[in-house]
């Protein structure tokens, strides 16, 4: 209604517009429900089409609204005319297409490695340079399969980190459906182990089954608990909490940073918490942690959703501070829904501890 009459007035243009709208009406819901589609001859292709359509429609909607606001401002200052309406109407779908194509390339390539140094006060010499490779929000599911995860595992292992952390939202789907595609995780290798905490999407997909599957693959699942790792004369604690919203799905899984730290030996000098959502940060600071590694936000994934993340989370991406606690929020290693990243590149994070 807003674009086609300005692009090409007439019955034909209107008919094409209605047909495209009808196609979106079918494909976008398919994209939203892609992880529930029964396996069939065309289920995977429909999932791809629906999710790409969702990403394109999102940009098309936002750009159409921006065009209308711009046209209203131009009208106020006295600039109007058919060319303005026509050219801007043509530009909107072309720009949306360009953003979708660039976003697709960004989403499907292997995540870049982001190196982050975290200054810790009174850091023992034995822990200087201690490294953790963090991956988060991969969302193995409708369009992210075994080869995609395999490439991530190869990159993480090449970093030779002291420990590996998976901070939730690993999957979108059941163990039965995705078991084959998550198998590369058993190749993850680090001196002090590979650790996993649940994200909200694990609870959408059968958290108990996924916890058992992660353990079968050799990962250490941290459910409001911790492990201690020793380096020379110093010790470091790696703790993990369940997702911030886990209690809505299973009361016994209520996220609790204080419980995760309980019983830690007095000789532990550095406390690290793995928590899917940055919202855990205030409780983590109260519990005495020095560093929290989180994900969940995807950095917004693509405009304009990065503008809405602060309505729910204290941080969108990067290294931030809550009192004496450092919080690093990953932009995610995969993507959710549309295979599209624009302005929020995916990442594999290599975190190193350094003296403050």
Checking if the pLDDT of 354 tops 80, the result is yes
Find the distance separating the first CA and the last CA of the chain, reported in whole Å: 58
Measuring CA to CA, how many Å separate 296 from each of 98, 245, 282? 26, 12, 16
d(CA 72, CA 80): 9
* Closest listed residue to residue 153, CA positions, set 181, 179, 176: 181
User: Beta-strand (E) ranges in 222-306?
Assistant: 225-231, 234-240, 268-274, 291-294
82 — pLDDT class (breaks 50, 70, 90)? low
Q: Give the start-to-end residue ranges of the domains of the chain.
A: 4-108, 112-355
CB neighbours of residue 16 within 10 Å: 14
The confidence score (pLDDT) of residue 19 equals 84
Measuring CA to CA, how many Å separate 220 from each of 172, 241, 307? 20, 12, 35
Checking if the pLDDT of 288 tops 90, the result is yes
The model's pLDDT over 229-284, given as tens digits with 9 standing for 90+, comes to 999 999 999 999 999 999 999 999 999 999 999 999 999 999 999 999 999 999 99
Task: Give the mean model confidence (pLDDT) for residues 335-344.
Answer: 95
d(CA 294, CA 199): 10
Checking if the pLDDT of 45 tops 90, the result is no
Q: Tokens 């501070």 map to which residue?
A: 321
The CATH label, of 3.60.21.10, 3.40.50.2300, 3.40.1050.10, 3.40.50.300, for the domain at 112-355 is 3.60.21.10
DSSP 352: E
Checking if the pLDDT of 75 tops 90, the result is no
């Amino acid at each position: 209604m807003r674009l086609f009459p300005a692009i090409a007035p007439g019955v034909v243009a209107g008919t094409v517009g209605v047909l495209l709208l009808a196609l979106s009406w079918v494909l976008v819901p398919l994209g939203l429900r892609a992880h529930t589609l029964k396996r069939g001859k065309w289920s995977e292709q429909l999932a791809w089409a629906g999710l790409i359509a969702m990403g394109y429609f999102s940009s098309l909607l936002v750009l159409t609204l921006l065009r209308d606001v711009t046209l209203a401002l131009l009208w106020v200052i006295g600039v109007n005319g058919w060319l303005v309406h026509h050219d801007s109407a043509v530009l909107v779908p072309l720009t949306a297409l360009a953003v979708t194509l660039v976003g697709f390339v960004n989403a499907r390539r292997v995540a870049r490695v982001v190196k982050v140094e975290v200054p810790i006060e009174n850091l023992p010499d034995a822990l200087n340079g201690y490294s953790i490779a963090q991956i988060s929000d991969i969302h193995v599911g409708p369009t992210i399969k075994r080869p995609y995860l395999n490439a991530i595992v190869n990159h993480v292992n090449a970093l030779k980190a002291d420990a590996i952390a998976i901070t939730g939202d690993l999957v979108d789907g059941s163990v039965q459906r995705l078991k084959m595609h998550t198998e590369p995780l058993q190749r993850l290798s680090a001196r002090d182990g590979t650790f996993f905490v649940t994200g909200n999407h694990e609870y959408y997909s059968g958290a108990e089954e996924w916890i058992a599957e992660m353990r079968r693959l050799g990962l250490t699942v941290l459910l409001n608990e911790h492990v201690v790792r020793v380096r020379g004369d110093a010790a470091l604690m790696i703790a993990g909490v369940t997702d911030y919203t886990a209690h809505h799905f299973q009361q016994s899984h209520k996220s609790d940073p204080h419980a995760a730290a309980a019983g830690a030996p007095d000789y532990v000098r550095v406390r690290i918490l793995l928590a899917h959502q940055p919202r855990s940060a205030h409780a983590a600071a109260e519990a005495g942690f020095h560093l929290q590694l989180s994900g969940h936000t995807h950095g917004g994934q693509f405009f304009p959703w990065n503008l809405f993340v602060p309505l729910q989370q204290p941080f969108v991406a990067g290294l931030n501070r809550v009192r004496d606690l450092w919080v690093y929020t990953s932009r995610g290693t995969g993507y959710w829904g549309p295979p599209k990243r624009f302005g929020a590149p995916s990442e594999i994070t290599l975190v190193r501890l350094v003296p403050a």
